[in-house]
Amino acid sequence: MNSASVGARPTIGVFVSPHGFGHASRTHAILERMLEIEPILQIELFTRIPKWFFSSLSDNIDFHELDCDLGLVQSDALRVNYDATLADLSDRLPFDPTEVRRLGQQLRRLDCQSVLCDIAPLGLVTARAAQLPSVLVENFTWDWIYEGLALQAPALSNYARLLRPIFQNADLHIQTQPICQVVATARQIGPIARAFRRSVKETRATLGLKQSNPMVFISMGGTKTHFPFTEQLKSRFPGIHFVISGASNKVRKDQNVTLLPVRCPLHHPDLVRAADLVIGKAGYSTIAEVYASGTPFGYFVREDYPEMAPLGAFAEQTIGGKPLAPDHFANGLWLDQLPELLALKRQPAPDAAAAVRCAELIWASF
């Protein structure tokens, strides 16, 4: 890109779905690569993802707190609350034209030249109102999810019909593996994960572990989750060290268990790479990080959720993942399979060029 063609400082508006941390993680990785291409890029970020999540990019970001996407209301990491989802969607859709116009004017005032959206449809509508090129990055879109869940909540079909043309009208459409529904006109690239920051040795040393200590990392994504099986980890497997993300308000070590807060000083991808085994929800960011690190993965799925089939197929075929019964999570029955899971082999690390390719495509849209 020739930054002189768009003024002294290229600026991009970014709308990120706050549904979990997977969309924010993917967007973070893309923005890191965009900044490697053009270090003076100005990022105007619209989301309700906590500001700290993007702290490593803080010199280039102005944060605008905005409830830009609902997605689904979840009871926990594995269950959807359909009544609450429908009630909230009825308040949001169709989008308020006055709000869309206000946001479009804000993008123009901020001198944005392009708008990047990780499945937040409000951003795509706002880009059109501002007459700016829009970029959609996704491995699924909400119209596809809602249509797939219409058997459980038929009214979701109405919202799928409202959203479908919005997603279809993005000026640049990028799909990242694992892709749920391939769109012929979109550009398809590999999984996108945030870059590693520390070596395996450094991460393990921070946790007080030697290279020879078996380590299992447990992560259920950005949704609040309880871990009632923690006592079993201490009593049944004293020789294995377990690190659990989102299990405490601060870093706390209890015998062979380290409990971490959601906002953790340790980088999530580094923990994934340092582990001998990752246990978690089959969510986009964890799958992408497991793919990048080659770490074996035992995963739980949300039952009857459309994204799970393609994510699970990718996990089994590409990263050697093993599915675990969702009703075995809370009661710890999955621990009976722990010896088998720890015997899974680490996969070779792949070529991690997808984020770079995505950044190049977005720069070309300016």
Residue 119 per-residue DSSP state: S
pLDDT digits (tens, 9 = 90+) for 250-304: 999 999 999 999 898 899 999 999 999 999 988 999 999 999 999 999 999 877 7
Beta strands 252-254; 257-260: pairing state: antiparallel
pLDDT digits (tens, 9 = 90+) for 3-50: 434 456 899 999 999 998 999 999 999 999 999 999 999 999 999 999
What does the angle CA 302 – CA 306 – CA 312 come to, to the nearest 5 degrees? 65
The model's confidence at residue 225, banded by pLDDT at 50, 70 and 90, is confident
DSSP state of 346: P
The proportion of the chain whose per-residue pLDDT surpasses 90, expressed as a percent, equals: 81
pLDDT of residue 304: 78
pLDDT tens for residues 251-263? Answer: 999 999 999 998 9
Please, what is the average pLDDT of the chain?
A: 93
Q: Tell me, yes or no, if the two domains 3-192+354-364 and 200-342 fold the same way.
A: yes
Least reliable range by pLDDT among 1-5, 181-185, 324-328: 1-5
**10 Å Cβ neighbour count for 203?**
23
> Could you tell me which CATH class the domain 200-342 is placed in?
alpha beta
Residue 149 to residue 151: CA distance in whole angstroms: 5
One-letter amino acid of 147: E
For 83, 219, 240, 247, 308, the CA distances from 225, given in Å and listed in that order, are 20, 9, 22, 8, 19
Which architecture characterizes domain 3-192+354-364 according to CATH? 3-Layer(aba) Sandwich (3.40)
- pLDDT of residue 365 exceeding 90, the answer is no
Q: How confident is the model at residue 1 (pLDDT cuts 50, 70, 90)?
A: very low
What pLDDT does residue 223 have? 67
Question: With a threshold of 0.75, does the pTM exceed it?
Answer: yes
Q: Where are the domains of the chain?
A: 3-192+354-364, 200-342
